[in-house]
Amino acid sequence: MTLVGWILMGISWGVILGLFVLCLVKVFRTQKANIRAPLEIETDD
Amino acid sequence: MPEQKAVRRRENWGSRLGVILAVSGSAVGLGNFLRFPVKAAQNGGGAFMIPYFLAFLLVGIPLAWIEWTLGRYGGKHSHGSAPGIYHRVTGGRSWAKYVGAISIFVPLVISFYYVYVESWTLAFSLFSLTGQIPEAAAAGNMTAFLNGFLGIEKNQYFSGPWTALAIFALVFVLNYTFIYRGVAMGIEKLNKVAMPILLFCGVILAIRVLTLGTPDSVNHPEWNVTSGLGFMWNPNWADLLKARVWIEAAGQIFFTLSVGMGAILAYASYLRHRDDVVLSSLTSCSANEFCEVILGGSIGLVAAAIFYGAAQAQTIAQSGAFSLGFITMPMIFGHMGGGTVMGFLWFFLLFLAGITSCVSLIQPAVAFLEDELGLNRQSAVTLLGAVGFCITLFVVLTLAYGSLDEMDFWAGTMFPVVSATIEIIIFAYFLGVRKGFEEMHHGADMKVPKLYRHVIRYITPIYLITILVVWGYQEWISVVFMRNISDPIQFRFVLITRILLLLIFGTLILLIVKANRRGRFPALKGKGL
């Protein structure tokens, strides 16, 4: 495999694994015991 | 007509993890392990990942957020399918409920043939354990074995399609049993068990392939894991100049995330209104990508390149996803240490991916019958099961004449793109991005970047319309006008399949008319959310 191939594979795997793990951590941290009020969001458009 | 007052209490998911696993299970299907590697290898290898990730960010994630949001909103008003949801969010526009029929038609028709393909995977996992597949693979007879199993030819392996029919009946009953048991007790429990096992099988297979080293170091020292990965990942930058590669990448993202199928709408309708949709949706999308890129991209074609070399692997990729899964992979496992177990794990993984997707395809129609026509779940599932069994039997018996391919073209290729385009136009231009984002952020555990307002308003619709136009012009016209069929018998069966599909769609429209008469789509005086 070429160096560029390794880099593309590394970036792809890294991005997907990073996103997956980040989401899982957030899901397990934000248990529904801590229900929040609906977010106030800006509606400037 | 007044809205029906006595709306039955709808089910809810038992846990947040349950709904995430269920939506991930819906998205992770056979395509993750068979279609993705083939598409990547045919469209630039590593370079394919650039348009693929762009489509993930600009089409896949926004559509998933929209479907989760619309689904949860529909559930709040006792609608678990697109007709009721579109009627609500468009402020009661008369056409909206009929347009929503597409989002029931698509998953229902796919389920009619998907359940049959799913039964092949269970059968092949059993044949791997009994030694029939290793034997046929060793003799180089996998094509004959598959054709014999499907009843396309009589040979030393099978004297007719009876084994396939028996296993199909078993798998069919299994699918409908999970749906019959309900959302929390059936679908959620299935996914809570099946998805971890699927991940386990996928990880074991990926590790096995990536630790193969150089299997034939004497004759082919250049065929090894590094060259196998190189086959998948070495970029061909020139391919990025081809419009086809960008369209294929967007198409792959579109199909892999199961957007435009109506399944996410139905599943999200069983959320409580305070439940988060933004983070849950993103988690499901990322779980799907993990299964597709990291697991799916490390097993099939990488193993093919390790055992047969890059040139032969390219030929395998050209022969298509099914050939890779059902013919090439058993032959590869035949060369591999522990091949019998690996063969079983491969087909069992495909079976789990199939069953978790298939139940999600049946659920929108069940939700429609329950919510809009007042049937109880058991009656709805029994009715759909009876109709579905007859139609799938038609597919089984006319497989050689192209009925499955015809259904797959309309329900599995063309209409999902049409359905998603309608969905995003309704969200962005009838509901409005501002109101839509307010609804999306209700109970949200994370905030959607503001940039996505513009993405949803302009970029995703343009992306989808471009796919529609380009595929319509390049690939669909010849199929629509049957220019690709020369055999008169096949022509007749394709025509019969089309009439059948029209009857299904017509029946759905009539049922929406009936639901309307029951007061399920009341006048809303133009008020959306």
ipTM given for this complex: 0.89
Q: What chain A residue is nearest to B433 in terms of C-alpha separation?
A: A45
Q: In terms of CA atoms, which chain A residue is nearest residue B235?
A: A5
Residue of A nearest to B443 (CA): A38
Interface test with B, best of A3, A7, A12 (most B CBs within 10 A): A12
Please report, for residues B112, B125, B227, B330, the alpha-carbon distance to residue B334 in angstroms, rounded to integers and kept in the order given: 32, 14, 20, 6
Query: What is the nearest CA distance from B239 to chain A, expressed in angstroms?
Result: 15
Q: What's the average model confidence in pLDDT over B350-360?
A: 97
Contacts of B20 in chain A (CB under 8 A): 27
pLDDT category, B3, cuts 50, 70, 90? very low
Q: Give the integer Cα–Cα distance in Å for B331 and B113.
A: 26
Using a CB-CB distance cutoff of 8 angstroms, which residues of chain B are in contact with residue A8? 46-47, 49, 233, 235
Residue type, B392: T
Q: Percent of chain B at pLDDT above 70?
A: 98
Q: Name the pTM for this structure.
A: 0.92
> Are B279 and A41 a contacting pair at CB < 8 A?
no
Q: Give residue B527's pLDDT.
A: 59
Q: How far apart are CA B360 and CA B447, in angstroms?
A: 27
Average pLDDT over all residues of chain B: 92
* A4-43 residues touching B, CB cutoff 8 A: 4-6, 8-9, 12-13, 15-17, 19-20, 23-24, 26-27, 30, 32, 35-36, 38-39, 41-43
At residue B220, does pLDDT exceed 80?
yes
Is it the case that residue B341 has pLDDT exceeding 80? Answer: yes
A5-41 residue pLDDT tens: 999 999 999 999 999 999 999 999 886 544 444 455 5
The reply to whether A3 touches chain B by the CB within 8 Å rule is no
Best residue in B56, B233, B438, B457 for a mutation probing chain A (most A CBs within 10 Å): B233
Q: Token pair for residue B238?
A: 């020139």
**Cβ contact B363:B178 at 8 Å:** no
**Helical segments of B94-188, H only:** 96-99, 102-130, 132-138, 142-150, 162-180
- Torsion angle of the four alpha carbons B459, B462, B468, B470, in this order, in degrees rounded to the nearest 10: -100
Nearest to B254 by CA among B393, B392, B414: B414
Q: Higher model confidence: residue B481 or residue B396?
A: B396
With an 8 Å Cβ cutoff, are A41 and B438 in contact?
A: yes
pLDDT value of residue B152: 87
